[in-house]
Amino acid sequence: MEAKKRSAGILMPVSSLPSPYGIGTFGKEAYRWVDALVAAGQTYWQVLPMGPTSYGDSPYQSLSAFAGNPYFIDLETLLEEGLLNREELSEVDWGSDPGRIDYSLLFQNRFRVLRKAKEASHFKEEENYKNFLEDSKYWLEDYCLYMALKNHFDNREWQEWDEDIRMREPEAVEKYKEQLKDDMEFYAFCQYKFYEQWNRLRSYAKERNIGIVGDIPLYVAMDSADLWAHPKLFILDEKRRPTCVAGVPPDMFSETGQRWGNPLYDWDAMKQDNYSWWYERMRANSKLYDVIRIDHFIGIIRYYKIPAQAATAREGEYVKGPGRELCDVINRAIGDSAIIAEDLGVIVPEVRELLKETGWPGMKVLSFAFDSGPDNEYLPHNYKDANCVVYGGTHDNDTLVNLFENMPEHTRNYLMEYINIHEPEKIADGILRVSYASIAQMVIAQVQDVLCLGGEARMNEPSTLGKNWTWRMEQGAFHEGIIKKLRNLSEVYGRK
């Protein structure tokens, strides 16, 4: 993506928007957020992956690479359409803390309410629904059957289903399609409403010159419709169980590495199929987003292969990925949308060469910039090319405030000297200013860092469970003072 002008944006997960229903949605607060971005002189709104989540609630472990998260469907909009009534919404416990998501309550209650809306709807008669079915035919039926089957098998992942349907024997597939027809229609209704509401919101943003930056994980989850529906595209044994899984090797952050557990693509099989699954995936995402950030982009060049039986990532090995071939397919699929390559980690020369060939920008993260002296490649004075995107931190990093508080003294001192600020309460704003002043064509700041929040607002701490993905911005937090601060930075550094 060769950006045409200097720009700035904010990373704000949809889930983190305020709402009275336990999680952010595509409702009025999302429209207010777009208006606030315009007032703040911003050009982009970056979101986290918007797929339906499973156990652990991570948007990077989605039940589908194509489907949207039903939690984001705005219930007030359904009420205005006559599909729900106020009593049905007010009698539900959506959680008592406006600053946190209670995923267990959402799981118990959200689908029950959405089922009532589906029963009141005549969506199957709508022309827009028929168009949606046509546009989503590559993935929708598989996804709806998968979700209906999960519901039928007590929400267990497909590896634990009955053997005939686990192996997708044709007779079993047809039997369950008939048996679970009503449930399949419910999940189709949810997708229809998700896409309908998102497309309306995205159009509103586009009319106001706010582009949407989406985020997609390189790999799919083990518990996903994609793996179940397309087993030949993954490295599985004859029983369709993975023989190897994804991760990264031991490094300075972890002596055992990270065993993510995602299934690995069979790139040879994908090549024989002309990478059609990837083409369809990127085509679908290009309809959702103006810019698509590919998480763990370096796995396209070489990926880390861990034996499935290994308990840690120590036993893995690097294997060559598809490289330029896949990038060419992605370029054909995305039309006018653009790409950001998340190239963090151990960078081999082939990664830099591919980014140069494609013109896709890589990332610079200031959270990693101050711990190794003036030669650190993430320090702005070392940026050699404006075609990059600079972040203060990502969803996996601590907030800048908490990062500073927990730095070793020598790192903290170097940071303060670099940004010429020595008051701890001004550090986050100082780092933000440095990023805006850099030559990078695009700046993306986490909303938590714009608000100067501490560690309580961290979105995700990798390799932990039970406390992640729950943070929400409280009503009124993004106030006029914050808007004025950002607008001033955009004007001063030519990003408006």
Token pair 């595509």: residue: 26
Question: Token pair of 209, please?
Answer: 């010159």
Q: Is 14 helix (H, G, I), strand (E, B) or coil?
A: helix
| d(C-alpha 335, C-alpha 330), whole Å | 9
Residue in 474, 430, 423, 476 with CA at minimum distance from that of residue 450: 430
Per the CB < 8 A criterion, the answer to whether 266 and 234 are in contact is yes
Catalytic residue (choose from 196, 226, 290, 342): 342
| d(C-alpha 415, C-alpha 428), whole Å | 11
Question: Token pair of 348, please?
Answer: 């081999």
Q: Is 78 helix (H, G, I), strand (E, B) or coil?
A: helix
| d(C-alpha 111, C-alpha 190), whole Å | 9
Q: Is 457 helix (H, G, I), strand (E, B) or coil?
A: helix
| d(C-alpha 46, C-alpha 352), whole Å | 24
Q: Is 385 a catalytic residue?
A: no
| d(C-alpha 396, C-alpha 461), whole Å | 6
- H helices, E strands: number in the chain: 19, 12
DSSP assignment of 151-219, as one string? HHTTT--GGGS-HHHHTT-HHHHHHHHHHTHHHHHHHHHHHHHHHHHHHHHHHHHHHTT-EEEEEE-SS
Catalytic residue (choose from 35, 141, 273, 396): 396
Helix (H) or strand (E) holding 140: helix 140-152
Residue in 45, 50, 42, 12 with CA at minimum distance from that of residue 215: 50
Q: How many residues does the chain have?
A: 496
DSSP assignment of 261-301, as one string? EEEPB-HHHHHHTTTHHHHHHHHHHHTT-SEEEETTGGGGT
Q: Is 129 helix (H, G, I), strand (E, B) or coil?
A: helix
Catalytic residue (choose from 295, 343, 429, 449): 295
| d(C-alpha 299, C-alpha 295), whole Å | 9
| d(C-alpha 315, C-alpha 312), whole Å | 7
Q: Is 396 a catalytic residue?
A: yes
Task: Tell me phi and psi for residue 451, to 5 degrees.
Answer: -85, 0
- What residues are labeled active site? 295, 342, 396
